[in-house]
Copies of this chain bind each other. A is one copy, B any other.
Amino acid sequence: MTALPEEAKALVESTALGHVVTLNADGAPHLTCVWIGWDDGDIVFASSTMTKKIRNLRRDPRVAISIESDRISQMGLKEYLWVRGSAEVTEGGGLGLLREFATRYLGPDTTFQPWADPRDGYQVRVKAERIGGLGPWIRAAR
């Protein structure tokens, strides 16, 4: 487990979505896009209810996330980051995290009020094991 380099923080805290991969019971990849946040070198995200990705992560914590930058690298290609690691799922606190994300993704005056289940959804913390992609976060990780 390794904290992400600080160079990745601005990208994680942009309005780019996190493309999150979990594994279905048959081992096939399940892919969705979510709002993400930065917490002490980890990527965090939330779900307001029990979704397929939460079920998947509880059975198999292996996870991957990629984030696409709108910056163009010196090579002329778009910068992006991928993270592979292990997910820790916590029950509760999902709604609060989503509301916090909403002020960034939708704007500071947003009135985003998602419905959450009685357990107040779920928080997920991704502990990175490997990172890659194209951008300053890669040079920093080497």
Contacts and interface: CB of A to CB of B under 8 A. Distances in A.
Contacts of A28: 62, 64, 84
A13 to B, nearest CB: 15
B27 A84 contact: no
Nearest to A70: B70
A11 interface: no
A31 B66 contact: yes
A33 B132 CA distance: 10
A87 B122 CA distance: 33
A2 interface: no
Interface stretch (A15-23, A42-50, A88-96): A15-23
Contacts of A132: 32
A19 B110 CA distance: 29
Contacts of A16: 68
Contacts of A30: 64, 84
Interface in A1-57: 15-17, 19, 21-23, 27-33
Interface of A: 15-17, 19, 21-23, 27-33, 62-66, 68, 76-78, 80, 82, 84, 105-106, 110, 112, 132-134
